[in-house]
Amino acid sequence: MSNPSTTPMPATLADLVHRLDQARLTGTREEGEEVGTVSTRRYTDPAHWQQEQASLFGQWPIVAAHSSELSKESALPFDALGVPIVLTRAADGRARAFLNVCRHRGMTLVRAGGPEPAKAKPCKALVCPYHAWTYELDGRLRHRLHAQTFEGFDPATLNLVELPCDEAGGLIFVKRTRGEAFSAAAFLQGLDAHLHWMGLPGMTVFRKVDRVYAANWKLTVDAFLEGYHIRVLHRETIYPFFADAYTVNLHAGPHQDSLVARRAAFEAFSPPPDRYALCKLATPTQLVFPNTFLIWHPDYVSLIGMFSPAVDQVRWVHTMLIPPDRTGEDWNAHWEKTFQLIEQTVFQQEDIATAVAIQRGLTSGANTDFHLGRLEHGVLRFHRGIDDAIGGTLVPAGGGACSG
């Protein structure tokens, strides 16, 4: 893990800080160059949803877990992309992904084990609970019960089906479609340097929720791409800590990295030497296209995956990440209270409840388009990115063509 107190701030992040300082000094908000509209069919049309599933969730690297969730010699089931996947980390330390399906008769190899979010299971091999076919954590078939009764079947052709998987910046990425390997660092297009400087690889999980709500997934993404709503929607919760719609934004390919100014930035501003100082001035917020957010609160991080099980549903997976030096019983009460505030109050009762209400309103036909102003330019850019990905003109950096 990079030490944020001794490693120089990446130049692109330092430029964001400088731009925030200039906005503060001049009293000028950064705005987009144009207004625009977003068709409401994007949130209701099953055909458009199918295109997103095929082009985005089927072809792009998707964040499946934080690195700390997958220790050596463990396996973590992951099904948020609509297919059964298992992540493994063998003794060599490499994160891998496979279809979570036995090659004998198709049984699930690693089950989540209840309604709570799945956790990694310590193991040295994957053993099918149906007939005990056994696989190494690198996917190779190790053992078949009564192997002599399977004459004519080449065991080398019965390894687990591997999926493209890579790790960078403290995040494990996977593609749900078989194909060539890709580089997660190249895919992030420079954001991995920001994540390392801020210490993301060294964070650890405190709490995780995994729930489905009645709203299209893009409605929750939209909310996190503009600060225009904070003054109104969050006026009783977090707005007292934030300036009104002062946000600066960096484009890293289709990804977005923003600093949302806090009121403290207008009281005293000096170049932040580390993550903690930066998060007193602003809330860094990264969109890892297409569906993952990192929101840096003053002393912890929200890692949020917004998945799409149906055209009118979002699967909200929120992982609270905390510094490794602030763990243990002495800290549990603090983190529990903090998590309940951000998840149950700000996210569930305000952001998600708004998305659900908008989805209901779409059925009325009152709007055929949403009208976005220059303070909402990040939302327009996100939707154009989706169009370009569906149309094939935007492809993920880092290689890894899929085989279908």
Please report, for the domain that includes residue 77, its CATH number: 2.102.10.10
Q: Is residue 188 part of a domain?
A: no
Average pLDDT for 296-317: 98
Residue 268 is part of a domain; what is its CATH number? Answer: 3.90.380.10
Q: Are residues 40 and 95 in the same domain?
A: no
Q: CA 300 to CA 322: how far, in whole Å?
A: 5
Question: Which structure tokens are listed for 119?
Answer: 């956790």
Q: Specify the number of domains making up the chain.
A: 2
Enumerate residues 6+ apart whose C-beta is below 8 A from 391.
Answer: none
Tell whether 116 and 149 lie within a shared domain. Answer: yes
Of 181, 216, 236, which residue is a domain's last? 181
Could you tell me the CA-to-CA distances from 256 to 39, 187, 259, 298, 378 in Å, in that order?
A: 22, 13, 10, 20, 8
Residues 51 and 112 in one domain: no
Which of the listed residues 122, 150, 181 is the one where a domain comes to its end?
181
- pTM for the complete prediction? 0.96
pLDDT of residue 112: 85
Q: Which domain holds residue 80?
A: 62-181
Q: What is the mean pLDDT of the chain?
A: 95
Q: Is residue 400 part of a domain?
A: no
Whether 131 and 262 share a structural domain:
no
**pLDDT tens digits for range 208-265:** 999 999 999 999 999 999 999 999 999 999 999 999 999 999 999 999 999 999 999 9
Do 66 and 33 lie in a common domain?
no
Neighbours of 17 (CB within 10 A): 20
Integer angstrom CA distances of residue 174 from 180, 229, 256, 332 = 12, 33, 20, 31
Q: Are residues 158 and 263 in the same domain?
A: no
Q: Residue 285 domain-assigned?
A: yes
pLDDT tens per residue, range 167-181: 999 999 999 999 999
115-146 pLDDT, tens digit each: 889 999 999 999 999 999 999 999 999 999 99
* CA–CA distance, 350 with 353 (Å, rounded to integer): 5
Residue 42 lies in a domain: yes
Q: Please answer whether residues 237 and 350 qualify as being in contact, where contact means their C-beta atoms are separated by less than 8 angstroms.
A: yes
What pLDDT, on the 0 to 100 scale, is given for residue 268? 87
What is the predicted pLDDT for the residue at 4? 46
Q: If you search the block for the tokens 């660092």, which residue do you land on?
A: 185
H-helix segments, 175-292: 184-188, 191-197, 217-223, 230-233, 275-281
Q: Buried b vs exposed e over 41-60: b needs ≥16 C-beta within 10 Å?
A: ebbeeeebbebbbebbbbbb
Q: What is the pLDDT of residue 399?
A: 85
In a domain, 197, yes or no: no
